[in-house]
Amino acid sequence: MKISKNALVYVEYPQLYQKKLLNALTTAGYSVISVVPDNSEKNLNRALKALEYVEIAILGGVLPIQNLEHAPNLKWIHFDWVGIEKILTRAMFEGGRIITNGSGRNSICLAEHVFYFIFTLTYGTRDIFISQHDHHWGVNHLNPYSCLFNKTILIIGTGSIGTEIALRAKSFGMKTVGYSRTLKEHNSAYDRQESKQAGVDLASLITQADFIVLSVPLNTDTYHLIDASVFEKMKKTAYLINISRGAIVDEKALLEAVSTRQIAGAGCDTFENEPLDKSSPLWDLPTMVITPHSTPQSPLKFEQGIGVITENLKRLKNGEVLLNSQSCNDVLN
């Protein structure tokens, strides 16, 4: 007698995409337990009961860590969002369990957000608005105006977000340099690709960049990756852009670098502690642009999210590496 495989779906998409998700799982041979992640006690208990026997869990909301760690038959957990570094534990990976996330679903809008920062900083938008408000013809901008053409943008993290950033940078005639933890296949979006695995020192790239953009996950390798030593190597005319995770940047070093004009400025959508404390001096720096973790959602978000899950179902069946796979190296604690 063939034993049925089981999957928990603890995520709620719009109706069309929810139907596609359930169909993908049933087509792959899974009986689906679908639970709405509405934080009600009833549905939470249903989800926890399912964890006692399912092989797959597709999660759009957080379930108790202990239950995920000790689910006896669970082979694959998919967290349907990106920032899962504070959820992961080493125990989740025991027994060869595979863990993936929803990275890439909002790459297009995050790439656009990078250029919101770049243009706001290089054009002196804050000063332009002040001049307009004062009916003053002329702008007192701290940094000289310069176009993006022929400038070098260093993108640390060459996944889907980094690639979308690089593609947009090339349309402005910028020189695109990508840096990753591991060796990557050639990607035409980058004029130059380097990696830690290949023995390339990030510092050698930092000194050449006019814009440094962070699009890496937060893990033990990237925690405070950008510290005082990095700021010291940056050009005085260079800008730092962070649309990944706040703790990748040492905020004390960032404050020092921007306030003393060691670098030209910075744009950050994320911070180590959010919301950013009202008393933080970062708010008042004239060459600092802050957005409250507020990138618009991509119109392709749900389609791409389903695409990752569907592709991974095929890879799981064939014993292949799953997209967006996490590792114990991504565990912070």
Contact between 202 and 179 (Cβ < 8 Å): yes
Active-site residue identified among 113, 194, 245, 251: 245
Residue type, 253: A
Instruction: Give the CB-side neighbour count of residue 246, counting CA atoms within 13 A.
Output: 15
Annotated active-site residue 274? The verdict is: yes
Active-site residue identified among 97, 141, 293, 315: 293
Query: Can you tell me whether residue 198 is helix, strand or coil?
Result: coil
**Can you read off the two tokens belonging to residue 34?**
């679908």
The backbone torsions φ and ψ at residue 145, rounded to the nearest 5 degrees and listed phi first, read -65, 140
Taking each helix axis from N to C terminus, what angle separates 107-123 and 125-133, rounded to the nearest 10 degrees?
Answer: 60
Active-site residue identified among 52, 94, 274, 320: 274
**Can you read off the two tokens belonging to residue 49?**
């009961």
Rounded CA-CA distance 72/95 in Å is 10
Query: Among 80, 74, 27, which residue's Cα sits nearest to residue 55?
Result: 74
Annotated active-site residue 135? The verdict is: no
Rounded CA-CA distance 227/248 in Å is 9
Q: How far apart are the first and last CA of the chain?
A: 43
Annotated active-site residue 293? The verdict is: yes
Catalytic residues: 245, 274, 293
